Amino acid sequence: QAQLVESGGGLVQSGGSLRLSCKLSGSVNDYYAIGWFRQAPGKEREGVSSMSTSDGRRDYADSVKGRFTISSDVAEHKVYLDMNNVKPEDAAVYYCAALTYITYFNGRHLDLLQYEYDDWGQGTQVTVSS
């Protein structure tokens, strides 16, 4: 089990940009996929974006498609979420999470965000001013 630590959250103005970082204690490639999720007060947790570490496949929630970009730096054991044109509804605690190979290949989902991820970080707060 790897440890994941998020950073980069903070206050951003509506229309602005932020880069969130997820640092793993081990190799990014030890997992099938790394994803970003978020939860706002009083709302259900939702998937934001995820990427396969093996084939480069990337999935995005419809609400962030065209605005957010997920990427990785394998040498640094990091996965990033670049948030552009941030909207008030993007305010939430953002979590990164890791999906194991076993969980992925035992599943039947077509979208990486539909899986139940195995290891989670503590979260980083994103606040949006408008």
Q: Would you give the distance in Å from CA 2 to the centre of its chain? A: 16
Q: In the numeric block, which tokens belong to residue 108?
A: 């039947």
Closest CA to 10 of 23, 25, 24, 20: 20
The pLDDT score that the predictor gives to residue 91 is 98
Beta bridge partners of 69: 82
**SS3 category, 90:** helix
Residue 110: per-residue pLDDT: 87
What residues pair up with 48 in beta bridges, in sequence order? Answer: none
Within a 10 A sphere around the Cβ of 84, how many other Cβ atoms?
A: 14
Closest CA to 22 of 95, 83, 86: 95
pLDDT at 130: 87
In the chain, the N- to C-terminal Cα span, in Å, equals: 39
List average pLDDT for each run of 10 residues in the chain, which is 130 residues long: 94 98 96 98 97 94 98 96 98 98 94 97 97
What's the pLDDT score for residue 48? Answer: 98
Fill in the DSSP letter of residue 41.
T
